């Protein structure tokens, strides 16, 4: 009885991993009813893909960390711009006049 439960658990985990890591390409019932050799093939292909992706990512991280001159640039930022200085708000009791140019267009 225990072997049957272990087999079912392994089967369900395999089906879950194919459905989850297949990114919506497979549904539970299709994988469950699929011939075992095809299901194992698909599972191994997905597993191999993610192992290669993880290996490439770890190699990329090692390359970046080994180069001290590497600078991270975030999207939307200009690496050559100077930091922006913001005016501090006026202290309590002091008023500050703000000139806002208004463009009026007549038809």
What does each of the 107 residues of the chain score in pLDDT, given as a tens digit? 688 888 889 999 999 999 888 887 888 899 989 999 999 999 999 999 999 999 988 888 777 666 666 566 666 666 566 655 556 666 666 665 666 666 666 65
**Contact between 14 and 41 (Cβ < 8 Å):** no
Which residue from 21, 4, 5 is spatially nearest to 31, judged by alpha carbons?
21
> In the structure encoding, which two tokens stand for residue 12, read together?
């369900």
- Alpha-carbon gap, residue 37 to 30, rounded angstroms: 14
Name the residue with tokens 């050799």.
Answer: 37
Tell me 22's DSSP state: T
């Amino acid at each position: 009885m225990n072997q049957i439960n272990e087999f079912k658990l392994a089967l369900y985990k395999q089906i879950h991993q194919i459905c989850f890591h297949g990114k919506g390409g497979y549904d539970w019932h299709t994988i469950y009813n699929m011939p075992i050799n095809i299901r194992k093939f698909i599972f191994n292909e997905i597993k191999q893909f993610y192992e290669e992706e993880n290996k490439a990512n770890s190699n990329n991280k090692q390359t970046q960390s080994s180069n001290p001159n590497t600078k991270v640039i975030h999207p939307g930022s200009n690496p050559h711009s100077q930091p922006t200085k913001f005016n501090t708000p006026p202290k309590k009791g002091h008023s500050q006049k703000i000139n806002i140019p208004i463009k009026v267009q007549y038809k």
